[in-house]
Structure formats: structure tokens, C-alpha cells
A and B are shown apart, each in its own frame.
Chain A
Amino acid sequence: ETGVTQTPRHLVMGMTNKKSLKCEQHLGHNAMYWYKQSAKKPLELMFVYNFKEQTENNSVPSRFSPECPNSSHLFLHLHTLQPEDSALYLCASSQALHPDGETQYFGPGTRLLVL
């Protein structure tokens, strides 16, 4: 266990549904990340939060809406998704954002299928 949990682990939703992914870290970290892992593509960074403030939005469509109410919790709200959004969504955390980089600890991911 890395200290980062994600729920649900699996999610099937229709294109008109609204759902949310949840991530929680028990490591006392201050930076949290959302990544998307699609089949046969490299892991893609979506959002970065540092001390609850969003510091990076990697040109993610507005149908993905992140929320970070505190340093331990991160949500990804989903609405009107497309089938091509089906992927493994991974959450990660690190101590903070540091110029030399920090080891990131990943959760197990949420496997999302959009029908």
C-alpha cells in the first residue's frame, strides 16, 4: 500500500451521467495529481494541486472538473464524457512541488468505462 487510496476502483457510466472519482492520501503530503492512462499511450498528467491551489491544467476538456477541498483529498468530477475518455485514472501525491522534483506516490487507479 502506498498510502494513496482511490474510489471507486471500477466505474461504468453513460455519456449523460455525472459521477465523481475520489482520491485520499494519508501521507501528509501537500501536492496532488490526476493522471490519465489510456491503452497504448503514455501516462498523461491532467491536473496538479499544491496546498489546495491548482497549479497545472494540462489542456484538459471542461467535462473533467477537479476539486481539492484540502491537502488530503482530491476529486475529479465527470460529466457528459465520451467513449474515448475510457481509461485508468490515477491519483498521486508528493510532499510538495519542488524544483528538483519529488517522488510521487500513486493510488491504484479507477478503471473508467464510458458507454
Chain B
Amino acid sequence: KQEVTQIPAALSVPEGENLVLNCSFTDSAIYNLQWFRQDPGKGLTSLLLIQSSQREQTSGRLNASLDKSSGRSTLYIAASQPGDSATYLCAVSTGANSKLTFGKGITLSVRP
């Protein structure tokens, strides 16, 4: 059974810092890995999707990497801003039904 782990559960950094959020998964037979952002009381917004054949994806100040063999992904946020404060969830797709298995998320707080 696939399990996704995100540690730590919460992170607080000062504005301007570059930071890395980690995600690990137990079964390397994945189709893709996605990073989502969730603001309090709201749904999820897709940030980046990395196919199993890819190593990384970039969007603006965000860069996500995937090491399928070791079961790890990182989300790099450059020059963090208070508006980046949110919960970041990692999810892996492990079936033809596009079934996503989620981690519990990392709640990020960027202090002004």
C-alpha cells in the first residue's frame, strides 16, 4: 500500500529565505507526482506535476524534483514571501484511475 510522508508538519521562516519542502513515498511504481497548495478553508490548487519519466519541473519561483528510485521529491521555493504561507501537499498517482495518494501536508508560515 502506497504511503506518502511529509516532514515536518509545520515550518516557519522569515521572508526572503529559500526553502525546501520534502516528500517521500514507499512504492516507487508511480505514474506521476503532484504538488498542491491549500489555503485555509479552501480547496487545492495544483502547483506542479512531474511525470515518472521526468526529473524536475519549474514554475516561477517554484521548482519540484523527483527521484523515483529513492522515493523522494522536493519542492524548492525561492525568495519566499508572506503570500506563500499555506499548506503544501504532495500526492502520487499509482494507478490507471489517476488515483492520488496524499501526504498530510506541510503548513508553511512566512514571516514578514
Do A and B originate from a single complex?
yes
CB-defined contacts of A61 to chain B, threshold 8 Å: none
Contact status B43-A42, CB under 8 Å: no
How far in angstroms is the closest Cβ of chain A from B25? 12
CB-defined contacts of A31 to chain B, threshold 8 Å: 98
Q: Give the contacts of A32-52 with B (CB-CB under 8 A).
A: 40-45, 48, 50
> How many A-B contacts are there with CB distance less than 8 Å?
72
CB-defined contacts of B91 to chain A, threshold 8 Å: 43
- Number of residues in A with C-beta < 8 Å to the partner? 31
Can you list 6 A-B pairs with a CB-CB distance of less than 8 A?
A2-B43, A41-B104, A55-B97, A101-B34, A101-B93, A104-B100
The 3 A-B pairs of least Cβ separation, nearest first, read A101-B93, A106-B43, A101-B32
Interfacial residues, chain B to chain A (CB-CB below 8 A): 4, 31-32, 34, 36, 41-46, 49, 51-52, 89, 91, 93, 96-105
Interfacial residues, chain A to chain B (CB-CB below 8 A): 2, 4, 6, 31, 40-45, 48, 50, 55-56, 90, 92, 94, 97-109, 111
